[in-house]
Amino acid sequence: MSNHYVVSVRRSLRWWLAVLAPIVLLPLTVTAPSNPAAASTHSSCHAPRMIGLTVAAARARATSSGCSLRLTGAAVQMPKIQTIRAQSSRPGRSTKLLSVTVNPPCPGVAEIGPPPGEPLLKPGPTELDTGLFFEGGPLIYRSAPVCKDFAGKSSAGNITVTNFAGTAVANNVALSAGQLLEITLSAGNYTITGVFADGSAVGPTTVTVPTGEVVRQDLVLDVP
């Protein structure tokens, strides 16, 4: 085989390789940008407001906003009850991943009473704070950062406070829902009675108010 023939064959092979190389590589060049995983790596969204939403609502809002959502905090057991208490990005800010903190589900009665441990004392003027509370009912679940911190809201009605001699220092004072009776008085023993807006009577409850203390003692009516 002559050297001229070998050189001719080599040139011919080089020419065909040069022609075929762009054809082989062309599909890779065209299809690479269409990879959704690669595209999403650089995508971002404007963070929607999540605080206060249930987990179910937060997921739906993240989907509609095009945001990737990461749930932290309590394990999600009741997505239609558990709420969001914090988010990593402020509403409206651009982000690639939005992290939110989930509150735990808290079991408790339907009618929540006053703060536990009454009478509660704290330094201050010699004062009595009191309200009207229903407590009880069926077991339900709520969402909160700390379950033990749950306390109810006082009901509407009237309260009377009398001293040890039976003299009224607050006589049939009307309270609206959510309001407490706060009265400054002399140190001593007092009796509290009340009537809810529906006519249910509650009390009497006796409480001691020391000098220089604010005493919280509410009236509670148990409900089945």
Q: Would you place residue 15 in the very low, low, confident or very high pLDDT band (cuts 50, 70, 90)?
A: very low
pLDDT of residue 11: 54
Q: Are residues 140 and 66 in the same domain?
A: no
- 3 state SS for 9-56: HHHHHHHHHHHHHHHHHHHHHHHHHHCHHHHHHCCCEECCCCCCCEHH
In this prediction the pTM is: 0.66
- On whether the CB atoms of residues 181 and 170 are closer than 8 A, the answer is yes
Domain count within the chain: 3
pLDDT of residue 34: 34
115 and 22 share one domain: no
Look at residue 146 and tell me whether its pLDDT is greater than 80. Answer: yes
Q: Give yes or no: residues 61 and 76 share one domain.
A: yes
Return the closest-CA partner of residue 122 out of 219, 209, 220.
209
Question: Does 90 share its domain with 186?
Answer: no
Residues of the domain holding 145: 107-223
If pLDDT is split at 50, 70 and 90, which confidence band does 149 have?
confident
Query: Band of the pLDDT at 119, cuts 50, 70, 90?
Result: very high
